[in-house]
Structure 1
Amino acid sequence: MPELPEVEVVRRGLVSWVRGRTITAVDVLDPRSLRRHALGPEDFAGNLEGARVLDVVRRGKFLWMPLADTPAPSADAAPGEPAPAVALMAHLGMSGQLLMQDPGVPDEKHLKVRLRLSPAEGMPEQLRFVDQRIFGGLFLTSLIPTDDGGPGGLAETPLPLIAEEASHIARDPLDPYFSFDTFYRRLRARKTGLKRALLDQGLVSGIGNIYADEALWKARLHYARPTDTLRRADALRVLDAAREVMTDALAAGGTSFDSLYVNVNGASGYFDRSLNAYGRAGQECKRCAAAGLVSIMRREQFMNRSSYTCPVCQPRPSRGRW
């Protein structure tokens, strides 16, 4: 499943192509991709046609486009416009793709929904939702005020509004409004293992399995370290590590293990070539090897997933040693 950097890559691509444009028509080719829109395909299309995309917003792995039902303001109009109340939410699931295409490009095999956009010079005229496994989908959602009064998420023009379905999750480490003090206070109160806490979207959003392993490796911490034993410096180190690996992943276009994750231009990311922990079971630890030590990365079962650690520089904790 796409993690935060992959979704942010898609967000940045969409901003360049759809912000400020009007949805002129909607083609629903497979209603299954609208199953989260309770009122059905006709209501979905009817509400989108004529709406203008104000921005593309992300919090954690949630992605939405606030909509206005008015035309773009003219150059001599008074500044400002009413706050949007509705947004188009995109859930990518395991294989969802948002692709910008020209009308002449043949339909993709697993095309589910097509949004036709108002013409813009040099820009593709269609936003296509493609989903091979049909775990993702599109739906309309309400925008509500944020709990802390800050922006709902990363956006070009931040508004203190958030998609209702994303309102339960915490801010992510790349969010300028992320509060380390709040994170650390709640982390210490969790009394659980460190990786389990990092995957808790109510505590910190956007850190999935791959980037949790990468951040823990970089911070030299084991996934089972009890959170109530973490010193402030330890927590800061792992958050800084998570921020660093996700920033590096963004620069590489995300992590693509198969052809199903692509950006809006259809290109795959290549951060998987830079992984230090995830998927490296049986290989030498890069850090230990650089120090002249021999240590083989190990894979362990964790919450129906896998965790990858180095037994030398990420030793399993013993409760009494901290």
Structure 2
Amino acid sequence: MPELPEVEVVRRGLDKWVRTRTIESVQVLDPRSVRRHLDGALDFEQSLTGCTVSSVVRRGKFLWLGLDGLEIPAVLMAHLGMSGQLLVEQPEAPDEKHLKVRISLTERLDYPGELRFVDQRIFGGMFLSPLVPSPDGLPAGQGSSESAIPQAAAHIARDVLDPHRTAEDLYLALRKRSTDLKRAILDQGVISGVGNIYADEALWQAKLSGHRKTATIRRPEVQRLNDALIDVMTRALAAGGTSFDSLYVNVNGASGYFARSLNAYGREGKECLRCAQDGKVTLIRRDPFMGRSSYSCPVCQPRPRTSR
């Protein structure tokens, strides 16, 4: 599932190609992709037609388009799910195999004329969400200066790269939980935007075990983890995100290449690069985790004794 860097790459593409343009028409090709729009596909099409995209905003993994022209203030939420893609295309380009929603935009010289939502597994979708006040009165997310937030995203915490969030905020949120550290940083109510891949990478970089109990975590350790989360996300963003298959692409259909820089995730049985620098041979370990996998170094990320 796309994590913060992948969604931010998409947000930046939409901000360049779609913001300030007016929606001329909407075609829902598969009603399942607008199932969260409770008034149905026809209302979805009619409500969006004539609206102008005023902003493209991200908070964690949540992405939305601000709209001018609606009677009741709302935004267009775009949930990518496991396989959703938002692509900008010229109208004459062949339809993608799993095209679900087509949004035609006003013409602009050399700009693609359509925004297409493509989704192979149909776990994602698009829908209108009303705006509510941001809980802390601050801008809702990246790409917005407004303190209004979509109701659908109001429950999630600020994300790793949010300038209005601090390491102290993370520390206080972790100490309110009674769980393992990795589970906690995957909790979007603690800090948003972190998924399985970047959790493993940040924990490795911070030399912390995901099995640590949040009740035992200390401020200096949280500062180290916070720094690692920011660094990992920033580097992944610069690389265009992480792509393991063709399902994650940016708005122009290109894949990210941060997978080439992973230090822990997916490296089971390979040498820990940090241990190797110290002349040690330590192999990255894979453990089952919530139906997925966790990757860590058994030497530089020692587990608490109770979880061995």
Normalised TM-score (structure 2): 0.97
TM superposition shift of 1:319: 5.7
Mapping of 1:122-137 within 5 angstroms?
122-137=110-125
Could you tell me how far apart the structure 1 residues matched to 2:173 and 2:60 are? 18
* Partner amino acid, structure 2, of 1:116: S
Mapping of 1:6-21 within 5 angstroms?
6-21=6-21
TM superposition shift of 1:183: 2.2
**Alignment partner of 2:13: what SS?**
helix
* Partner amino acid, structure 1, of 2:23: I
* Partner amino acid, structure 1, of 2:272: C
Mapping of 1:170-319 within 5 angstroms?
170-318=157-305
Q: Does structure 2 retain, via aligned residues, the 8 Å contact 1:85–1:144?
A: no
Q: Does 1:95 align with 2:83?
A: yes
TM superposition shift of 1:158: 1.6
* Corresponding residue for residue 52 of structure 2: 52
Percent of aligned pairs sharing the same letter: 63
The 4+ residue runs of structure 1 with deviation greater than 4 A are none
Q: Does 1:120 align with 2:108?
A: yes
* Partner amino acid, structure 1, of 2:39: L
* Partner amino acid, structure 2, of 1:276: N
Could you tell me how far apart the structure 2 residues matched to 1:260 and 1:33 are? 16
Could you tell me how far apart the structure 1 residues matched to 2:64 and 2:145 are? 13
Q: Does structure 1 retain, via aligned residues, the 8 Å contact 2:59–2:141?
A: yes
Q: Does structure 1 retain, via aligned residues, the 8 Å contact 2:100–2:117?
A: yes
TM superposition shift of 1:231: 1.3
* Corresponding residue for residue 36 of structure 1: 36
* Partner amino acid, structure 2, of 1:284: E
TM superposition shift of 1:318: 2.5
**Alignment partner of 1:135: what SS?**
coil
Q: Does 1:153 align with 2:141?
A: yes
Could you tell me how far apart the structure 2 residues matched to 1:17 and 1:229 are? 47
Q: Does 1:167 align with 2:149?
A: no
Q: Does structure 2 retain, via aligned residues, the 8 Å contact 1:172–1:206?
A: yes
* Corresponding residue for residue 142 of structure 1: 130
Could you tell me how far apart the structure 1 residues matched to 2:166 and 2:292 are? 29
* Corresponding residue for residue 3 of structure 1: 3
Aligned length: 307
**Alignment partner of 1:20: what SS?**
coil
**Alignment partner of 1:245: what SS?**
helix
TM superposition shift of 1:245: 0.5
Q: Does structure 1 retain, via aligned residues, the 8 Å contact 2:170–2:226?
A: no
Mapping of 1:58-97 within 5 angstroms?
58-69=58-69, 85-97=73-85
TM superposition shift of 1:179: 3.2
Could you tell me how far apart the structure 1 residues matched to 2:172 and 2:94 are? 52
Could you tell me how far apart the structure 2 residues matched to 1:268 and 1:121 are? 26
Could you tell me how far apart the structure 2 residues matched to 1:202 and 1:153 are? 15
Normalised TM-score (structure 1): 0.93
Q: Could you list the runs of 5+ residues in structure 1 that have no partner in the other structure? A: 71-81
Could you tell me how far apart the structure 1 residues matched to 2:226 and 2:306 are? 22
* Partner amino acid, structure 1, of 2:268: A
Q: Could you list the runs of 5+ residues in structure 2 that have no partner in the other structure? A: none
* Partner amino acid, structure 2, of 1:154: Q
**Alignment partner of 2:287: what SS?**
strand
* Partner amino acid, structure 2, of 1:86: A
Deviates more, 1:183-192 or 1:127-136: 183-192
Could you tell me how far apart the structure 1 residues matched to 2:274 and 2:215 are? 27
**Alignment partner of 1:50: what SS?**
coil
**Alignment partner of 1:143: what SS?**
strand
Could you tell me how far apart the structure 2 residues matched to 1:121 and 1:279 are? 43
* Partner amino acid, structure 1, of 2:91: P
